[in-house]
Amino acid sequence: EDQVTQSPEALRLQEGESSSLNCSYTVSGLRGLFWYRQDPGKGPEFLFTLYSAGEEKEKERLKATLTKKESFLHITAPKPEDSATYLCAVQARASGGYQKVTFGTGTKLQVIP
Partner 1 sequence: SAVISQKPSRDICQRGTSLTIQCQVDSQVTMMFWYRQQPGQSLTLIATANQGSEATYESGFVIDKFPISRPNLTFSTLTVSNMSPEDSSIYLCSVGAVDQPQHFGDGTRLSIL
Can you give the binding site for partner 1, defined by CB under 8 A?
4, 32, 34, 36, 41-46, 49, 87, 89, 97-98, 100-106
Nearer to partner 1 by C-beta: 72 or 103?
A: 103
Nearer to partner 1 by C-beta: 32 or 78?
A: 32
Least distance to partner 1 from the beta carbon of 19, Å? 21
Residue 108: count of CB within 10 angstroms of its CB: 17
Least distance to partner 1 from the beta carbon of 112, Å? 22
* CA dist., res. 85 & res. 80, Å (int): 13
Nearer to partner 1 by C-beta: 3 or 18?
A: 3
66-69 long-range contacts (CB < 8 A, ≥24 apart) are: 66/33, 69/24, 69/25
Q: How remote is the C-alpha of 5 from its chain's centroid?
A: 10
